[in-house]
Amino acid sequence: MNDRIISLTDWFQTPPGRYLLQWEQGQFDRSVVNLFGYNALQLGLPELHALAANRMPHRWLALPEEMLSAEEIPTGPDRDTVPAAGVAGASSSAIPRVALVTNAAALPFPEASLDLVVLPHTLELSADPHHVLREVERVLVPEGRVVVAGFNPNSFWGLRQSRARLMGRFGISALGLSELYLPEAGEFIGPGRLRDWFSLLGLEVESQHFGCYRPAVHSDKWLQRYAWMDRAGPRWWPIFGSVYFFVAVKRVRGVRLLGPAWRPRRASGTAPVTIANRR
């Protein structure tokens, strides 16, 4: 098999990778801008600043240790951000340095301590994605949100990737059809399967979107020629976008959020009433 693209980081430097990052950045910005709380966590994908538009006071980027080199591990408070090299719109934004090195399946947070967790392609790159999602549900507060982005296997990109893997498995190489279009690492998780996991964990889907309808081409020139498909896709084949985007909220039965405990108003005394006395 011709592994022209060897890693997710390298793939994001390609024209389709930049096209994907630009679409996902817009989706994350719109989804998290009006989510309020105190603590937000981004798990994985440092090429994308998924919490840039969010206004929570505490926001962290966490990565698995194997994804970091020695010089990328933060060593002091003055090293908060680095330039967003290779990301669309990098001149006006910055990607936060890694604040936490952890395992996505064993988060070092107590139960019900985070208001927002974003998972940009984190589940499909995990060895046990269902366990990762269960761990995210554990650390979320009631009514907390989880935002998930992933590759859709039922799309032009997904079908081309599946075909290349199948032909590579049987040693077939013809006209570049066995060349992987997406990174080799990870396994696709279908949107229907993800919705089932949400339901089992008590996470209610609040919104879902599909995007990146352009075909699996490598050059920026051909991607621009197929730009019209991003306008036609949501209308004519909405669920076949190459990427899906879910926002789910944690529902806890029997839990009701209370407002501020205002001091109850003191009841006024009964006014005296004059009674006529015949005597």
The number of distinct structural domains making up the chain is: 1
| Among 188, 25, 9, CA closest to 118 | 25
- The DSSP secondary structure of 132-145, one letter per residue, reads HHHHHHHHEEEEEE
What is the chain's mean pLDDT, rounded?
Answer: 80
Q: Is residue 67 domain-resident?
A: yes
Q: How far is CA 69 from the centre of its chain?
A: 23
pLDDT band at 102 (very low <50, low <70, confident <90, very high): confident
pTM assigned to the model: 0.78
Q: What percent of the chain has pLDDT over 90?
A: 52
Q: According to the model, what pLDDT value does residue 49 have? A: 92
- Over residues 216-239, mean pLDDT: 92
Pick the more confident residue, 187 or 96: 187
Q: Is residue 274 domain-resident?
A: no
Tokens of 178: 């066995």
Pick the more confident residue, 94 or 145: 145
Residue 212 pLDDT > 50: yes
For residue range 2-17, what is the model confidence (pLDDT) as tens digits? Answer: 444 357 778 888 999 9
3-state secondary structure of 197: helix
Range 35-68 burial, b when 16+ CB lie within 10 A, else e: bebebbbbbbbbbbbbbbbbebeebbbbbbeebe
| Among 95, 76, 75, 77, CA closest to 85 | 95
- Over residues 97-122, mean pLDDT: 89
Q: Is residue 181 domain-resident?
A: no
Residue 41 pLDDT > 60: yes
DSSP character at residue 198: H
3-state secondary structure of 215: coil
Residue 83 pLDDT > 60: no
- Over residues 140-169, mean pLDDT: 87
Which residue has 């090195």 as its token pair? 101
Q: Is residue 6 domain-resident?
A: no
Q: Is residue 120 domain-resident?
A: yes
Residue 181 pLDDT > 90: no
Tokens of 21: 């990052």
Q: What is the CATH number of the domain that holds 113?
A: 3.40.50.150
Residue 248 pLDDT > 80: yes
Which residues, 6 or more positions from 23, have their beta carbon under 8 angstroms from its beta carbon? 211, 212, 243
**Domain enclosing residue 95, as ranges:** 12-161+186-250
Residue 175 pLDDT > 80: no
Q: According to the model, what pLDDT value does residue 35 have? A: 93
Q: According to the model, what pLDDT value does residue 269 have? A: 60
What kind and span of H or E run contains 114?
Answer: strand 114-120
| Torsion sign, CA atoms 104, 109, 110, 114 | negative
| Among 240, 230, 213, 180, CA closest to 14 | 180
Q: Is residue 26 domain-resident?
A: yes
Q: Are 136 and 146 in contact (CB under 8 A)?
A: yes
pLDDT band at 258 (very low <50, low <70, confident <90, very high): low
For residue range 50-74, what is the model confidence (pLDDT) as tens digits? Answer: 999 999 999 999 987 656 544 444 4
Residue 123 pLDDT > 80: yes
Q: Is residue 109 domain-resident?
A: yes
Q: Is residue 256 domain-resident?
A: no
CB atoms within 10 A of CB 170: 8
Q: Which amino acid is at 37?
A: G
Q: Are 13 and 5 in contact (CB under 8 A)?
A: no
